[in-house]
């Protein structure tokens, strides 16, 4: 599976609903992404993603001991006023 389909330079915030979900027709689609996929989606490094999780800025869902990230939550984060940067 190619990770390139997860890479989005910047979100189309006009398509985002007020609750942060993105709709395709009448169906809201949620995907759970790995840390690597989520970092690519946000355009930051995996280390920067881990730091944001540690600081509580991004909330992962736990699958056993693994972190998974909702594409809807990541889209909401990208559409928020504060920019995501690799700091």
Confidence bin at 20 (pLDDT 50/70/90) = very low
CATH topology of domain 13-79: Multidrug-efflux Transporter Regulator; Chain: A; Domain 2 (1.10.1660)
Model pTM score: 0.65
Concatenating the DSSP letter of every residue in 26-84 gives TEE---EE-HHHHHHHHTS-HHHHHHHHHHTSS-PEEETTEEEEEHHHHHHHHHSSSPP
Q: What is the pLDDT of residues 35-86, one digit of tens each?
A: 999 999 999 999 999 999 999 999 999 999 999 999 999 998 888 766 565 5
Residue 1 pLDDT greater than 60, yes or no: no
| 22-34 residue pLDDT tens | 555 556 788 999 9
What residue spans define the domains of the chain?
Answer: 13-79
Q: What is the pLDDT at residue 81?
A: 66
pLDDT at position 32: 94
């Amino acid at each position: 599976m190619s990770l390139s389909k997860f890479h989005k330079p910047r979100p189309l915030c006009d398509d985002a609903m007020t609750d942060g979900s993105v709709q395709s027709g009448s169906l809201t689609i949620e995907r759970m992404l790995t840390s690597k996929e989520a970092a690519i989606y946000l355009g930051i490094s995996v280390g920067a993603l881990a730091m944001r999780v540690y600081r509580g800025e991004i909330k992962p869902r736990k699958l056993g001991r693994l972190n998974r990230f909702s594409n809807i939550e990541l889209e909401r984060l990208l559409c928020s006023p504060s920019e995501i940067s690799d700091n």
